[in-house]
Amino acid sequence: MIKKGLVLFGYDKPNRYTWAILMGYLEQDPELIKHYDFHPLSFHLYNAPKHRDALIKINFQKYNIIILAYSLLSIQIPQFIKFHEEFPHFFSEYHNNTVSIVGGAHVSAVPEKFAKLRHDIDFIVPNEGEVAFQQLLHAILHESKDQIDVSQLNGVARTLPQYIPAKPPQLHELGKTPSFSPYFRLFGPIEISRGCPFRCKFCQTGNSSQSMRHAPLDALIKWIKLGAEIKYDKLWFLSPNAFAYGSRNGVTPNVDMLYQLLSHIYDIKNIKGIYFGTFPSEVRPESVTHEVMEAISPFLANKKILLGAQSASNRLLRKIGRGHTIEDIYHAIEILNQFGYKCEIDFIFGLPGETIDDIEANINFFEEVLTNRLSNVRIHTHTFMPLPGTPFENEPNGKVSPKIHEIIGKLAKQGKAYGEYQSQAGLITNRFSII
């Protein structure tokens, strides 16, 4: 018997973009739409005990099965663990037949460790989720969760009664479906590229992908036109490096493709603003060239660009595998200034191997900002957190130098610094012992 299922997921930060893309893919499958109701909650499932008033409005008994779908970043693991320890049978109060599925960057990095940690999770999607989640939902319609053979699926791991690793995933063809969901009205930035050719030692993206893939131009324009008819009047983009769109190697900018992308979007009716090279798509410093800025500037509404620097020390930049220098950062600032753009620059404090000389290099850079020598610069602050699946996963949490803390405080008072470095430094220090 084909079941009627309900899929619950938390459409909330920091996972909103993930779900907008995933649901844009799934809504193209008529069988899934026929046999499942998808219910985006305004809160994460691990926060459900605080939102019983919202859950009580759902008629759980009209469904044969309830799918509990989680997408987890490493910073969400402590809350997820706490929920399952304090409320191990929470959703069984609402329905006696549930299936829990976990995906996201954290479990992609350490699926087997996660499976050992949480024995009450049924399936893990440890890579790209579009095709794997789709195949798993189809399988659940026809079989009980205990009978599903994950060896017949792409990119799905089983946790019970023993861990069975996932087969290699079938990668999603970017642009085949929209990176937003017209049917479910879930919108986010337009995904133009996925993957990264660099292997920065602190970053999960470059260490989990082999290359950069791009959505075809004609497909992007098709979906953006659709989005403009129903929602979009201002556009943001999703990419590890916005200025690398269309690049064959993911390193050297393809100026013509950038021009084609932005000029075509600029001509779309209802689009009132194009925001490119801003959050959530920072730009690598060496990809900022005169040719790129000449090509894209006529179409942009934003007057600031987010640069990924991470450090002002060439020694530390080499150690962490960034692939650019402090000279590239200065050069990018100079070019952006010439074209009338301000710069917001990412820095990570407390990186592994950071020395006094590295800290001094950062301080010297920040003093240039403080004294207005670099008047068009604003610092976006972070503290190093060891992420699973990276070469730095076993390193200790970063510590922020008192001198750095002092000067960032001065910059913040002048509106020249912002960010999460203090809250990140204050996160639970033992969280990596549970992953």
pLDDT at 117: 78
Beta strand 5-10 pairing with 36-41: parallel
pLDDT at 119: 66
Provide the strand spans (E) within 279-334.
304-310
Listed residue (335, 304, 324, 339) closest to 416, CA to CA? 304
pLDDT tens per residue, range 393-419: 999 999 999 999 999 999 999 999 998
pLDDT at 433: 39
pLDDT at 1: 62
The domain spans of the chain are: 5-158
Q: 3-class DSSP state for residue 69?
A: strand
pLDDT at 373: 83
Q: Which residue has the tokens 């800290």?
A: 359
Beta strand 123-125 pairing with 304-310: unpaired
pLDDT at 430: 39
Name the CATH architecture for the domain at 5-158.
Answer: 3-Layer(aba) Sandwich (3.40)
Running along the chain, 435 residues long, what does each successive block of 10 average in pLDDT?
89 94 97 96 97 96 96 91 93 95 91 82 93 97 92 93 91 95 95 93 80 95 96 94 94 96 96 94 95 98 96 96 95 95 95 96 93 88 92 92 93 91 58 42
pLDDT at 426: 59
pLDDT at 206: 73
pLDDT at 421: 75
